[in-house]
Amino acid sequence: EAQVTQNPRYLITVTGKKLTVTCSQNMNHEYMSWYRQDPGLGLRQIYYSMNVEVTDKGDVPEGYKVSRKEKRNFPLILESPSPNQTSLYFCASSLSAYYNEQFFGPGTRLTVL
């Protein structure tokens, strides 16, 4: 089954404790992206990747890191989480960056205390 998976689905952590949210797709998509969703603010892009070893900042990259060592995986790293990073996070992938449907993962609900 073609899909985007994320893990964990739910995470409660404390300020400053490094964490990684994994994202994987099995559709051989070139483009992958991370978004955060907050009430009233819609979906805001954190980072995106046009292909392996190619990543770039979205609109809200501060406090996040990403890597794209393999085509299928695009982990999101929070080196020192803070409470303002409490949010719902979505990973997405598409065949390429433009003119293509974004396939979203199920989301990760992160709470930073």
Partner 1 sequence: GENVEQHPSTLSVQEGDSAVIKCTYSDSASNYFPWYKQELGKRPQLIIDIRSNVGEKKDQRIAVTLNKTAKHFSLHITETQPEDSAVYFCAEPDNAGGTSYGKLTFGQGTILTVHP
What is the smallest separation between the CB atom of 71 and partner 1, expressed in angstroms?
15
Q: CA-based diameter of the chain, in Å?
A: 39
What is the smallest separation between the CB atom of 1 and partner 1, expressed in angstroms?
15
Nearer to partner 1 by C-beta: 80 or 96?
96
Among 23, 24, 90, 93, binds partner 1 (CB under 8 A): 90
Nearer to partner 1 by C-beta: 16 or 51?
51
Kindly state whether residue 73 participates in binding partner 1, applying the rule CB under 8 A.
no
Distance of CA 33 to CAs 14, 75, 105, 112, 113, Å?
25, 10, 10, 22, 26
21-50 positions binding partner 1, by CB under 8 A: 31, 33, 35, 40-45, 48-50
DSSP state of 81: -
Residue 53: Cβ within 10 Å count? 10
How is 2-44 classified by DSSP, letter by letter? --EEEE-SEEEE-TT--EEEEEEESS--SEEEEEEEETTTEEE
Q: How many chain residues interact with partner 1 (CB under 8 A)?
A: 26
Binding site for partner 1 (CB under 8 A): 31, 33, 35, 40-45, 48-50, 56, 58-59, 90, 96-99, 101-102, 104-107
